[in-house]
Amino acid sequence: MAPSIAEAARRILRTEDTTLIVPEYLLTEAEQLRLAISDGIPKLIREPSVIIGKGNQIEVAGLSQFGGLEPSLSICWIPTNSDSLLDTWSLWIIQIHDLMSAGYPGCVGCGGPGSEGVWDESASRARARVT
């Protein structure tokens, strides 16, 4: 799951004008994340917006999804259940902050393993099914 979390973190940091969709209980933390991204990557003209979603999953619209039913292969999917969603969210937040501290996305090689190549969502999901 760690490579998928890292890919989801990279996606939100390198994409402008995204929408972060979270359960209501994560709204305050999501707003704090939005502000941290805005402060941490000043070149972003439009930082993520935050809205409350339905159900118990997290989405970065069109980019990544934590939990829920398996989306299309264009979405980085982190399969998780309701019991572990908060733990997965926490890992993702840490990954985002670590990447920003390293200078991502404006640096070469600081995105971690696999960040320079093309993401293979099919392989990621195959690995998740094995574990």
pTM recorded for the entire structure: 0.88
Average pLDDT over all residues of the chain: 90
Give the pLDDT score at 21: 98
Rounded to 5°, the CA angle 33-38-43 comes to 145
Q: What secondary structure, in 3-state letters, does 75-109 show?
A: CEEECCCCCCHHHHHHHHHHHHHHHHHHCCCCCCC
pLDDT tens digits, one per residue of 85-127: 999 999 999 999 999 998 888 777 776 666 667 888 998 888 8
